[in-house]
Amino acid sequence: MIFGDYNQGRVFKIENSQMHKEAGSRVRSVEFILLKGKNGLWFIEAKSSSPKSETSWDRYQEFIGEITEKFIHSFNMLCAWYLGRLSDYDEIGTDLKAITGKMADFVFVLVIRGHKMEWLLPLQEELRQKLKYHNSIWNSKIIVMNDEIAREYHLII
- pLDDT at site 1: 64
Does residue 106 lie in a domain region?
yes
Q: Is residue 103 part of a domain?
A: yes
* Collapsed DSSP state (helix, strand, coil) of residue 131: coil
Which residues are CB-neighbours of 82 under 8 A, at least 6 positions away? Answer: 100, 101
Whether 137 is in a domain gets the answer yes
**pLDDT digits (tens), the chain, 157 positions:** 689 888 999 999 999 999 999 999 899 999 999 999 999 999 999 999 998 887 888 999 999 999 999 999 999 999 999 888 988 788 999 999 998 778 899 999 999 998 888 989 999 999 999 999 999 999 999 999 999 999 999 899 8
Residues 6+ apart with CB under 8 A from 74: 14, 28, 29, 30, 33, 43
SS3 124: helix
DSSP 71-103: HHHHHHHHHHHHTTSS--TT-S-HHHHT--TTT
Q: Is position 2 within any domain?
A: no
- 140 within some domain: yes
Q: Would residue 157 count as lying in a domain?
A: no
- Whether 121 is in a domain gets the answer yes
Could you list the residue range(s) of the whole structural domain that residue 31 is in?
8-152
Number of compact structural domains in the chain: 1
Q: What is the DSSP letter of 36?
A: E
In a domain, 3, yes or no: no
Rg (CA), the chain: 15
